[in-house]
Amino acid sequence: MRTVFIGAGQVSIETAKALVEKSHEVIIVENDKTKIDELSDDMDCSFLLGDGSRPDILREVNPEHTDILFCLTDSDQSNVIASLVGRSLGFKRIVTSIRDKQFAGICHELGLTDTIIPSRTISRYLVDMVGGSKNVELSTVLKDEARFFMFIAEEEDAVVVNELKLPVDARVVCYYREGKFAHANEDTALRVGDEIVILTHSKSLNELEKRWQPKLQKENPSE
């Protein structure tokens, strides 16, 4: 698998190192030459000096041959812009990191479905720890070919779960309505705006992604 990271922050570095150890191809785009010089001695991956939100820079990493673009700089605005530029250039999948929660709604409106909020993930973990519960690492649950897929329900998805016509190896396991968690079964009535979580076999991810790909994505005017 080929991955590109925009921003050489700690998350990018640790993730990149883990991917390299698993023999994945990794490229890190960073606009600080000093940082690249420091990291290049310890990391067996490629580096590209430049602003990762610029189209000319992202074209250099061959979007059509990249599996995932991670936008992980310290700037929410830069990450959003880089994600939109990456989408226009044809990257297959884009992950956008944001720190300010008010950007979450904007990312949704822009069709940036793979948005992560690190502070929210950490805070939930700590709250559970204080509550005395034993947290289960996701990696210990998703073994073999099991995968999670999430999408936000549009008008055509506001149906009973068993009417979604999912692949045979996919099941809706839960959903979030106005930020509140709830279990789901075949008779659960979904509403517009619900965040739906599906447990599926990895072979069905492509079908699910094609069905619920960002509807706001437009054709590249240059094509």
CATH code of the domain containing 33: 3.40.50.720
Instruction: Indicate whether 72 and 149 sit together in one domain.
Output: no
Mean pLDDT, the chain, whole residue set: 86
Instruction: Indicate whether 64 and 150 sit together in one domain.
Output: no
pLDDT confidence band for 220 (50 / 70 / 90): very low
219 part of a folded domain: no
Instruction: Indicate whether 78 and 38 sit together in one domain.
Output: yes
- Check pLDDT > 60 for residue 222: no
| Count, residues in the chain | 223
Instruction: Indicate whether 111 and 150 sit together in one domain.
Output: no
Exposed e or buried b per residue across 109-125, where buried means at least 16 C-beta atoms within 10 angstroms of its C-beta: ebbbbbbbbeeeeeeee
Quote the tokens at residue 124.
């939930």
Instruction: Indicate whether 109 and 151 sit together in one domain.
Output: no
Instruction: Indicate whether 34 and 110 sit together in one domain.
Output: yes
pLDDT confidence band for 216 (50 / 70 / 90): very low
- Among the three residues 68, 87, 122, which one is the final residue of a domain in this structure? 122
pLDDT confidence band for 212 (50 / 70 / 90): confident
Confirm if 99 and 118 have CB atoms less than 8 A apart: yes
Summarised one tens digit per residue, pLDDT across range 180-209 is: 889 999 999 999 999 999 999 988 988 888
Give how many domains the chain has, as a whole number.
Answer: 2
Kindly tell me the sign of the dihedral angle through the C-alpha atoms of 6, 9, 10, 11. Answer: negative
Domain extent at residue 147: 138-211
Tell me which of 221 and 130 has the higher pLDDT.
130
**E strand or H helix at 170, and its extent?**
strand 170-177
Summarised one tens digit per residue, pLDDT across range 46-93 is: 999 999 999 999 999 999 999 999 999 999 999 999 999 999 999 999
Quote the tokens at residue 130.
């204080």
Tell me which of 141 and 80 has the higher pLDDT.
80
Percent of the chain with pLDDT over 70: 84
**E strand or H helix at 2, and its extent?**
strand 2-6
Confirm if 139 and 22 have CB atoms less than 8 A apart: no
Q: Which long-range contacts (CB under 8 A, 24 or more apart) does 46-51 make?
A: 47/8
133 part of a folded domain: no
Instruction: Indicate whether 25 and 116 sit together in one domain.
Output: yes
221 part of a folded domain: no
Give the separation between CA 36 and CA 40, rounded to whole angstroms.
6
Instruction: Indicate whether 28 and 101 sit together in one domain.
Output: yes
CATH number at residue 152: 3.30.70.1450
Instruction: Indicate whether 117 and 158 sit together in one domain.
Output: no
pLDDT confidence band for 223 (50 / 70 / 90): very low
Nearest to 63 by CA among 87, 97, 29, 31: 87
